[in-house]
Chain A
Amino acid sequence: MASADKPINTDVPEKDVFALHFLQSLSNLRRQNTFNSPEKTNDRVKKIKKAAYVSMARAAGGTNRLWSRALLRRAAKENNKVVRLPRRKKRVTCLRRRRSNRRDPVEEEEAERLRNLVPGGGGMETSKLMEETAHYIKCLSMQVKVMQCLVDGLAPK
């Protein structure tokens, strides 16, 4: 049976890491020829948003976090790229525990909604889900701060 938990690690890198990744992705986007034509603003919007999420996932932990792996995999699928993510042994043990642990229907519906929001939440147990949510929230707020700073800095005086 499971023993005591190790202390949960929800550390998030500093703002600079996020900023660096985001700016790199933006500069990559600029190099694309199709990007700067201003007709289809919606496409640009979508691309920027996707770039924001992917850069956030990379900055936050790369493939060490379940949600970032799922995010990267999803993004890669959209680009029809094949992403090779290292398999982690932890997956197996997670599955093994699922047998006896999915109970408590009161919170399960809420957990369902959370699973739909957090990337990669479908395959997680509730406790793992909450851990991932905490990290996800931290990373999201960091990313928002970075983007806000960029927008403020670039706003015309």
Chain B
Amino acid sequence: MNSSLLTPSSSSSSPHHLQSPATFDHDDFLQNFFSSAPWPSSALDDDAPPPTSDSSLAGFHHHDVDSRNQITMIPLSHHNPNDAVDVNAIYSGFSAGSLPFHFPQGSGGGVMKQSHTQTQSQATASTTTGGTAATPQTKPKVRARRGQATDPHSIAERLRRERIAERMKSLQELVPNGNKTDKASMLDEIIDYVKFLQLQVKVLSMSRLGGAASVSSQISEDAGGSNENTSGENQTTAKMTEHQVAKLMEEDMGSAMQYLQGKGLCLMPISLATTISTATCPSRNPLISAVKEAGVPLSPNAATTPVVNVKGASVVTVKDASSVSKP
């Protein structure tokens, strides 16, 4: 049993340790520990209650193996690098067999680490059971989990990672479609959302002027990344796009689609386009100008997704152009 104390990392293969509940009295054990160990008071957590009773232990039993591993490790406060030496000495004394009781893994009810919810079990050579009392789980303080846990860099790393995870969680609630568990994709979502919001501000600031032509030119500039055009040039760029698309369509529909997507545009049937434009901006009379063949109204929409109907080709700009509907 003592060997399991020494090498908790290997105890992952022995989950049966859980079944033997501690029969000893936590309080006594920890009292002794405290009196013997030259434990600086700062090693204790701020509001450390006296060693928790079986309730914590019972709760502790339900944790997975990884968190159990951490129990037996020394929960040194990270401000005290010197404690490691003392604790190691004490622990070696323990391991000599002086433990009078069966010391299950879960005995660390008094020594358990609060933020075990985010544990990454790190293999440690020597683990000592610290005598610091268990702190309530709600307190997010980090206890060092290694024997040589006094390495400030790893602690800082862990702190930093936890902090970032915390912020990520709060960001997840803000961003729509924030149910991605992957950190990278979550960050992508966040970045896209910020871009989207900034684009919205831009569109809204434009729409107030009622400058229809300038609106579409600005939007196409964003999608295509070209230089800013004055309102006069907008007609030509739209025409060029149309010609290009028509040319591509003759060869291959797919390449035409890709070209459109690259510009942030998509194809949709004219009837649908008219429906959308009349539905979303029924009051935009001054902006509706008589347009070419198709008679599609040119009406920049200042709704959440900027939609611009370029005349004639019924090409619609969508925010990310992910939806392409063929006529």
User: A residues engaging B (CB < 8 A)?
Assistant: 1-5, 8, 10, 40-42, 44-45, 48-49, 52-53, 100-101, 103-104, 106-107, 110-111, 113-114, 117-118, 126-127, 130-131, 133-134, 136-138, 140-141, 143-144, 147-148, 150-151, 154-157
Asked if A126 meets B208 with Cβ closer than 8 Å, knowing A117-B195, A140-B201, the reply is no
Task: Pick 20 A–B contacts, CB within 8 A, sort by A.
Answer: A40-B230, A42-B214, A42-B218, A42-B228, A53-B201, A100-B153, A103-B160, A104-B161, A107-B184, A110-B187, A110-B188, A113-B191, A118-B194, A134-B170, A137-B175, A140-B197, A140-B200, A148-B204, A151-B302, A156-B286
In the assembled complex, which residues on chain B have CB atoms less than 8 Å from the CB atom of A48?
205-206, 208-209
Question: When chains A and B are docked, how far (Å) is the Cα of A86 from the Cα of B133?
Answer: 44
Interface readout for B155-180 with A: 1 if CB under 8 Å, 0 if not?
11101110110111011001100000
Nearest chain B CB to A97 CB, angstrom units:
8
Supply 18 further A-B pairs (C-beta < 8 A) apart from A101-B156, A114-B191: A1-B152, A1-B155, A1-B159, A4-B139, A4-B140, A42-B228, A45-B209, A48-B209, A49-B205, A103-B160, A114-B194, A136-B194, A137-B171, A137-B174, A137-B190, A137-B197, A143-B201, A156-B283
Contacting pair B187 A52 (CB below 8 A)? no
- A-B contacts counted at CB < 8 A amount to 137
List, in ascending order, chain A residues with CB within 8 A of B292's CB: none
Q: Mask for B112-151, Cβ within 8 A of A = 1, else 0?
A: 0000000000000000000000000001111000000000
- In the complex, which residue of chain A has the Cβ closest to the Cβ of B155? A1
Chain A min CB distance to B75 (Å)? 15
Give chain B's interface residues, CB within 8 Å of chain A.
Answer: 78-79, 139-142, 152-153, 155-157, 159-161, 163-164, 166-168, 170-171, 174-175, 183-184, 187-188, 190-191, 193-195, 197-198, 200-202, 204-209, 211, 214, 218, 228, 230-231, 281, 283-286, 302
A40 and B187 CA atoms in complex are apart in Å by 38
> Hey, which chain A residues are within 8 Å of B141, CB to CB?
3-4
**Which chain B residue shows the least CB distance to A130?**
B167
Residues of B within 8 A of A147 (CB): 201, 204-205, 208
* Distance (whole angstroms) from the CB of B319 to the closest CB of chain A: 13
- Given known contacts A8-B167, A104-B161, A130-B168, is B190 in contact with A144 (CB within 8 Å)? no
Chain A contacts for B195, CB-based, 8 A: 117
Q: Does B139 lie within 8 Å of A144, measured CB to CB?
A: no
| Separation of A136 and B196 alpha carbons in the complex (Å) | 13
| B198 and A5 contact, CB distance less than 8 A | no
Q: How far is the CA of A104 from the CA of B165 in the complex (A)?
A: 13
Q: Determine which of A1, A5, A138, A143 lies in contact with B163 in the assembled complex, contact meaning CB atoms within 8 Å.
A: A5
